[in-house]
Structure 1
Amino acid sequence: MRRQLLMTAIVIISTCSFTLADEGPSNTVSGGGTPEPRPLPEWTVKIRSDHPRLFFNRETWPAVRERALGPERQWYKRFQSKVARLESELAGQEMPAARDLGPQAAWSAFLFLMTEEPRYLELAKKCLDTSLRYYEQCFEERKSVNWYSTSRVHAVLAWDWLYNHLTDDQRRSTMSRLIHVIDNVIRARPAIYRENMSGYNTGFYGVRNCLWFIGCTAFETGIELERVNEWLIWGYDENLRMLEHRRRACGDDGGGASATLGYIFGAYPWAEQNFFYTWLSSTGENIAGDWPHSAMLANYVLWNWIEAEPVPLEFGYGDTPHTRNTLPTNQLYTHMANIRHLFGQAAPKAGALARYLQQKVPQQSYAETWFIYPFLLTQAESSPEPFRPINLPNGRHFETMGQVFMRSGTGTNDTYCLFSCGGALSQHRHYDALNFVIYYRGFLALDSGTRYEEFVNGEHLANYYAQTVAHNCVLIHQPGEPPARYWGGTVVGNHGGQHRQLGSVVKAFETNRDFVYVAGDATACYRHGVVRREGLPDLPEKCELVTRQIVFLLPHHFVIFDRVEATDATYRKDWLIHTAHRPVLDGRVLRADHNQGRMYSRTLLPEDATLTAVGGPGKEFWAAGKNWEIVAEGLTEENLALMGQWRVEVTPTAPRKTDLFLHVIQVGDRTLEAMDGIELLQGSQSYGVRLNAVDRAWEILFRTTGPLGGHIRRSGAEAIDRSLATTVQPQSDI
């Protein structure tokens, strides 16, 4: 009967609109006011008719139960203890005060299936009712339930897992209430403050993420038929959009929907993994292998990893708080385990790398957010043996993520550098094209500013932290230029920065065992067209050209050459480098220390440059005529140092439309007393340096006009004498 109904029923559902990424299903109707009928898609016949359907089903349950009692017994006992404490806490309370117990409902339901003890069934039902009353109360008070959908999805899981043990009235009542509280939030106008409506091109872990889970498990139960069918279809379509968006974002290198690691190594992978798991459990089809980009997260972890003691660090890209710059690893053990299970056969090399990284992360335990994962990992142990990456290139270009990583090795005494250019993602990205971050036993040239306590420090976030002035970039100051907007606050001015997050282009890239070279053009990020100003003359574009070429001479030297052309010679230019502590200036050389590392930077061009240190009390985050202070309560001196409270501005003395900036940076430990010998070289249409390193001499020349390019020469054994690359060296896979 069910299949017959599926093939013949015409359901009245909403016409879904997808013109904006954050739009969800709506009740748009035709001009006559009658909703347009739409048949169920053919794929809906695949959804099984029985329950449970979410994460496991009748056939897979024995294997899930076996893992809970076997390899993951300690994990099972952990949640058994949590449920016991909850049971004691709620004992004697017929109707506990409303609060969110969605996860606890799922824990209790799982324990009931494991033990068949009625007390767990009653506890799960009590948790569901308590949660539903809380969700309803939140809506009445127009308050957000939670930024994440996780707890509400767990309430749905509890309903699905208990389906066969609820009366028909209990099923209908509970599911109808769940649907109504979600529907009310989605339709609320104005939208409820801090209720996350994110869609396919973000993290997709807000309230609308619930629609797939509800649609999938309530499908063909006869409960809220129209709404359930609508949500099932919308959820399916939105998940496929998410997978396609993330596949494009990953390219052939790896990555995800944002280059800010707290997101991509944290909550972002949940949406993909949950869809893979629930599609498999509800239809019997394993589609993970069709989306191998998800497994390539392991490669992105590998290249963002800065080896340090006692824990690994990261570069601090994008909306990272900069309080510690520790690699966010809390979820990585679980993410790598899921990759091993889901992709061990479909993407064996990525699965092997995930196994290596899983063994390497400091937290050797699963994250509790989705407690069900460990019980599902039936294929994890059959994944390939760990792949320990050796003989990796010294540079890696993640094209779609807009990043080039450079490093001399993967140890605690190696040099690490991140260069930002290109890319297709603006999510949590700053106005930072051509920025570089350098780490050697400390953060020597760093990203400055913070997202710490963003609801208090939002003006800092928008006016300093996200702006070009907070990064190691070039500024072009045009009087009266409009601000570059950013979330979290009202931007009141522009401190010579960029106006577009996207638009920069990597023009050349090559990596070999001796050096890494990259060239980028960020002109399009500065250009903003003619600005119409009421009662004032139009404001023309301020920038004709901004390019940067970097040669990383392994293991300790960087040669950086910038061409900058303004539309007006009077527009001041500043070349910026940010440091953790107050830099020491000696003529045209700066020295800066952090932890056990030391950096020297020497300015060779412009020859009339003035070096100015900006920072210290009252000037830590100076931009657009104001210090964008933060509430620093709870922060240590080291936390503040990692926010970079000093910068050096390299500024031409004479006004010119075109300026060339040439710098040599050398890193070492705190015993490094001076830079190696450096000499400025000049040709007919080139500038460069002669660098006398410890064991050999280098000469690097850059063209000053025309296409980006140059020449590199090294004397001694294994001499080098050739042009710098003018194309992008292809890279893919691991």
Structure 2
Amino acid sequence: MASSMAEEDPTGSTATGNVKGWYGRKGRAVALLALLNDDGAYLDWAVSWAKALAALEIPEDDTSLRSRLQRMATVYDWLYDRMSAEDRAAIRTGLVAYVEALRDWGYIQDPGYIGGHERWGYAVFAMGLIALHGDYDEADELLQQCRGHIAEGFYPAQAWIADDGGYHMGWAYSASYTNFDLPYLVWTVGTNDVLLDDWIAETGDWYLYGMRGDDLFPQAGDAFSIGLSLGSINSIYAAGIGKRGQARWFIEEKLEPTSNPLLQLLVWDDAVESVAPTELPKGRLFQNAGLVVARDGWDGGTTHFTFKSGAFFSTNHHHRDENTFTLHYQTPLAIDSGYYDQYGTSHWRNYFTRTIAHNGIVVFDPSQSMTLYGDEVSNDGGQLFNSEPRTLADIAPGGSASLDGIVRYENREELTYAWGDATKAYDPARVTLAQREVAFLRATTATHPVTVLFDRVTSSSAALQKRFVLHTVEQPTTTGPLMAAEHGAGRLTSLTLYPTDAQLSLVGGVGQEFWVDGQNYPLDPNGAEGDPADKGIVPGGWRLEVTPGQASTEDYFLHVLFVDDAGATAVPADEAVLLEHSGSLGVQVAGWVVVFPRSSGGASAVDYQLQIGGTYQHLVAGFTPGQTVTASVGGTSQGNVVVGDGGCAVFEVTAGAGEAIGVH
């Protein structure tokens, strides 16, 4: 890396143009080599590079400003004693000018702690001031300002969101905003004032569990990439500081072992042994980030399911995607559609960030006007953009941006279950209830895991049409209640069991790939993020919409999802059987009986009947976690069942068709 960069002209456009990413890291590597050895060529190159950056006109955009300041500060701090007084003065002049320019930005004067640029701004602001300490009269006062905002603002908010390792922005921007080199490592190394904490090690699991069978992450949030290298910095910390053997396995087996060599040099611990993740639980909850990941293995044949139901609202790189899911087997099958062509494009504002682009529920009011940053955007019937939260108090329970998120979660060897409540993500004048329960069944009589989805949706008016939305890559086929879509080596089949009068329709194809309320919002051909195919991202182009046959304020949706190899025998419509009771809805499928109470508050007792008699595993949801219930068949007790952490009673009984089953 460093040797190839040193061959570039340090004052040329390649070396000084875009120093945020690859060329900036390569330039830093040259500076590190100059620090570690006596090679004068590296020293001369790094100093010339920093002087060239210092001489550039201060840019109007904060990304370029921050990036140049970061690179100059690194060279000035590391090579201070190796450069001439004249060179120090030239770089110092630029550093001071950039620090003072950044100081005048609004997010330095009055930062919010949840979004993105403020965090990066303060991290780089601190780097510049640390480098200038002793050479700039205002450095002490401004460093105390940095310390206050980092330790009392940014840090507590991030520690709460990522308490168990997750982050609300998906895998791409989460890498940018949870990695430990900025600002925590910089501050700790620069001041000996330790801010690093255990949650950063937990983020290694965010990337481990996010890894699909094709060694990519799901597209989630503003995904500028889905490559596994996104997780390198967090995994290095998790392995070196957190002593996580699985994180070392991830680095050595899934990444280049030399990923981020500077960080490995600082924190690597050879005593930590590589441990494959095969013994880890196959389900994981990231509570405050609002994500559940369920899988059935860790190899290329893994079925990988994600369920998103966030604990809070925010706008920055955070989509309107509460109570939505993705599903991958062999290839992406149920996808987050669209593409991060560039922040703020028409596609981004009107489609990509919106609920309609995700596998969720929309409730359409044709008279509604929706806005983002004060500008009118498409009416997709989905969740709203609200004011950006600024502090931990805003997003924590009871805060102005708080959502209910994942209210129940349970993981067992044979299944992963979750219950999300996204009601507060919609406006109450239109939607008064939006709950989704999911059951990912691993141990089934089917070849692959089976996923059951149950939605409770209540609108303020029966005239507001509710739609269950499911996105695929290729054009699906529909036959009665079945939808099937192949993509590459995989196939997704969706079976709509409820409403029994549901109407299935397809939207998509040329000119309607990203269709919202009568208009298509295609990718911007000039978008800065380039071609999605170059990143392994599939934007999709088709979706299934399921609507109730009869208008009602209160509706339920019950779906079963099957994954198979492309070309496998088609899933028949009777592969899953509806169980309908006045107080519950359920399904018999693949050796399981899965039952949900109709009530949005759960139930103290659930009754149902089988359509096909036999011995089945039963999952009955909605009870109080930890309570003891009794399962009965035909009025005869079959024994007591201790309800799990997520409110699920799981047991095996034998019953005949039509025979009453009660869980009380």
The corresponding residue for 2:263 is: 373
Change (3 A) 1:132 1:635: closer
Q: String of CA shifts for 1:600-627, please: whole Å, max 9, x gaps.
A: 2122222222111111112111112211
2:258 is paired with a residue of what secondary structure?
coil
**What code does the residue aligned with 2:543 have?**
R
Higher strand content, 1 or 2? 2
Q: How does 1:159-558 map to 2 (within 5 A)?
A: 159-166=76-83, 171-172=88-89, 174-187=91-104, 201-202=115-116, 206-219=120-133, 221=134, 223-225=135-137, 227-240=138-151, 241-251=153-163, 253-256=164-167, 258-265=168-175, 267-270=176-179, 272-284=180-192, 288=196, 291-308=197-214, 312-320=215-223, 327-341=226-240, 343=241, 347-348=242-243, 351-367=244-260, 372-377=262-267, 379-382=268-271, 384-424=272-312, 426=314, 427-454=316-343, 458-485=345-372, 490-499=375-384, 503-528=403-428, 541-554=429-442, 555-558=448-451
Distance 1:518 1:173 in 2: 58
Distance 1:590 1:619 in 2: 19
Q: String of CA shifts for 1:242-286, please: whole Å, max 9, x gaps.
A: 3222211112x2124x43211223x3345x324444445444566
CA contact (8 A) 1:417 1:437 kept: yes
1:319 is paired with a residue of what secondary structure?
coil
The corresponding residue for 1:684 is: 582
CA contact (8 A) 1:102 1:127 kept: no
Change (3 A) 1:126 1:563: closer
Change (3 A) 1:296 1:641: closer
Distance 1:149 1:563 in 2: 46
The corresponding residue for 2:634 is: none
1:618 is paired with a residue of what secondary structure?
coil
**What code does the residue aligned with 1:249 have?**
I
CA contact (8 A) 2:418 2:438 kept: yes
2:595 pairs with 685, 701, 707, which one?
A: 701
Distance 2:122 2:53 in 1: 18
CA contact (8 A) 1:394 1:406 kept: yes
2:5 pairs with 82, 85, 92, which one?
A: 82
CA contact (8 A) 2:458 2:555 kept: yes
**What code does the residue aligned with 1:214 have?**
G
Q: How does 1:553-592 map to 2 (within 5 A)?
A: 553-554=441-442, 555-592=448-485
Structure 1 residue 150: Cα displacement: 3.9
Distance 1:104 1:660 in 2: 55
**What code does the residue aligned with 2:551 have?**
P
Structure 1 residue 400: Cα displacement: 0.6
Distance 1:340 1:641 in 2: 29
1:507 is paired with a residue of what secondary structure?
strand
CA contact (8 A) 2:597 2:622 kept: no
Distance 1:102 1:596 in 2: 39
Distance 2:437 2:193 in 1: 48
1:575 is paired with a residue of what secondary structure?
strand
1:614 pairs with 499, 507, 525, which one?
A: 507
Change (3 A) 1:686 1:186: same
Distance 2:16 2:593 in 1: 74
2:228 is paired with a residue of what secondary structure?
coil
CA contact (8 A) 1:98 1:133 kept: no
Structure 1 residue 148: Cα displacement: 7.1
Structure 1 residue 167: Cα displacement: 5.6
The corresponding residue for 2:390 is: none
1:447 is paired with a residue of what secondary structure?
coil
Q: String of CA shifts for 1:139-170, please: whole Å, max 9, x gaps.
A: 4xxx3374473442221122223333456665
- Larger Cα-atom Rg: 1
The answer as to 2:490 corresponding to 1:629 is no
Q: String of CA shifts for 1:187-216, please: whole Å, max 9, x gaps.
A: 269x99xxxx98675365644433212322
Distance 1:130 1:592 in 2: 55
Alignment TM-score, normalising by the size of structure 1: 0.72
Change (3 A) 1:86 1:716: farther
Q: String of CA shifts for 1:391-417, please: whole Å, max 9, x gaps.
A: 333322111110111122222223211
The corresponding residue for 2:555 is: 659
Structure 1 residue 331: Cα displacement: 4.7
**What code does the residue aligned with 2:169 have?**
A
Change (3 A) 1:333 1:564: closer
List gaps (5 residues or longer) in structure 2: 387-401, 443-447, 626-643, 647-664
Distance 1:103 1:589 in 2: 51
1:689 is paired with a residue of what secondary structure?
strand
Calculate the aligned-residue CA RMSD, in Å.
3.6
**What code does the residue aligned with 2:333 have?**
L
Which deviates the most, 495-504 or 631-640?
631-640
Q: String of CA shifts for 1:26-82, please: whole Å, max 9, x gaps.
A: xxxxxxxxxxxxxxxxxxxxxxxxxxxxxxxxxxxxxxxxxxxxxxxxxxxx42453
Q: How does 1:12-161 map to 2 (within 5 A)?
A: 78-80=1-3, 82-86=5-9, 109-116=31-38, 120-134=42-56, 137-139=57-59, 143-144=60-61, 146-147=63-64, 149-161=66-78
Distance 1:390 1:718 in 2: 30
Distance 1:97 1:600 in 2: 51
The answer as to 2:544 corresponding to 1:648 is yes
Structure 1 residue 707: Cα displacement: 1.8
**Overall identity of the aligned pairs, in %:** 24
Distance 1:199 1:603 in 2: 42
1:306 is paired with a residue of what secondary structure?
coil
Distance 1:85 1:570 in 2: 65
Structure 1 residue 419: Cα displacement: 0.8
Change (3 A) 1:521 1:356: same
Distance 2:115 2:69 in 1: 21
Distance 1:106 1:517 in 2: 46
CA contact (8 A) 1:546 1:563 kept: yes
The answer as to 2:571 corresponding to 1:674 is yes
Distance 2:416 2:488 in 1: 26
The corresponding residue for 2:620 is: 723
1:508 is paired with a residue of what secondary structure?
strand
Distance 1:119 1:637 in 2: 40
